[in-house]
Amino acid sequence: MAEKVKRRKTQAKTAIVDILKQSTQAMTHQDIELALDGLCNRVTIYRVLDRLVKEDLAHKLVDVDGVTKYLACRDCGENHLHHHVHFSCEQCGELTCLYHVVPKFTLPEGYHLSEVNFTVRGDCPKCSATSSAAE
Amino acid sequence: MAEKVKRRKTQAKTAIVDILKQSTQAMTHQDIELALDGLCNRVTIYRVLDRLVKEDLAHKLVDVDGVTKYLACRDCGENHLHHHVHFSCEQCGELTCLYHVVPKFTLPEGYHLSEVNFTVRGDCPKCSATSSAAE
DNA sequence: CTCTTAATGCAATTGAGTTGCAAATATCTT
DNA sequence: AAGATATTTGCAACTCAATTGCATTAAGAG
Ligand SMILES: [Mn+2]
Ligand SMILES: [Mn+2]
Ligand SMILES: [Zn+2]
Ligand SMILES: [Zn+2]
């Protein structure tokens, strides 16, 4: 029943994967478009990103403010679950994975977990350093 | 420096607060519009909701899929922090607060927390019950 | 009741994301 | 290498949530 689609290695896909891999933080569609500098069409970026997510090469995250961002899949293991915390900086706006911060919790009876999205907002080390220095 | 704005008690605001308070789950703008049944303009709903959030009478949440939802503020204490888990059902789509589920975690040095958004996706008790009964 | 200003309605606009379709191109087959 | 085939792309048009400007309405203070 599962349609087997033969993926192709294209210029746009290669470029986008490279850009995502080079970034330490999650990127918006717009970030990527800017980085690509006209290499391909806006729509193509959306479509490539969709494919990357399907192929488990990238993750699609929604930030606390509703902004959709993409992240290269690194060492996520089998299921590509993000059990760790994502940190969203209120000052510089960057969204990063805190791979080592894995919250502990227990769901009540009857709830069945399939995915987790734990985002913490605040000031990142960089920004809290500069803002406290300014005082 | 803080602008003191004198809020007014209007028909739209009262109705929207009532609707939010009666709901056990977070509601979208559309849900609210439907419940209001033409009582006021679409834009007014957006503006009232913004005000309610500013006045700490409601919370604005973004679901895992990017859908914005609103929730009446109940016993949130002083700072209105949602340290508990929000559960988002993949089947019925409802988003609810699991007030008793508060994850434990520790941020690394240098990170300063101001807000938390922890959403768990999966099947709610209602939906997991009916789907296992169907097998 | 009168005055001030917050709140509303309406029409137009923005911006992210999607869709249909024809043209381009990656990959497979001879 | 050339041809066949299905994927990928570009473009234009579209959808849908949310925002904005502005004239009008209506809280609520005095
Ligand atoms: Mn992954
Ligand atoms: Mn609250
Ligand atoms: Zn920062
Ligand atoms: Zn459910």
Is residue B26 within 8 Å of B87, Cβ to Cβ? no
Report yes or no: B60 at the A interface, CB cutoff 8 Å.
no
Residues of A in contact with B104 (CB under 8 A): 103-105
For residue A40, the model assigns a pLDDT of 98
Shortest distance, CA B86 to any CA of chain A (angstroms): 10
Most A CBs within 10 A among B53, B117, B124, B128, hence the mutation to make, goes to: B117
**Residue A114 burial (CB < 10 Å; 0-12/13-18/19+)?**
exposed
> Domain map of chain B by residue range?
11-134
Question: Nearest bound ligand to CA A52?
Answer: 1
Across the 135 residues of chain A, what is the mean pLDDT of every consecutive 10-residue run? 83 98 96 97 98 95 94 81 89 90 95 93 90 58
pTM of the model: 0.89
Q: Which class is A11-134 in CATH?
A: mainly alpha
pLDDT tens for chain B, residues 1 to 135: 556 789 999 999 999 999 999 999 999 999 999 999 999 999 999 999 999 999 999 999 999 999 999 999 987 777 777 889 999 999 888 999 998 999 999 999 999 999 899 999 999 999 988 766 554
Instruction: Please list the residues that pair with B128 across neighbouring strands.
Output: none
* A121 and B115 Cβ atoms separated by less than 8 Å: yes
Contacting residues of B for A94, CB less than 8 Å apart: none
Q: How far is CA B77 from the centre of its chain?
A: 16
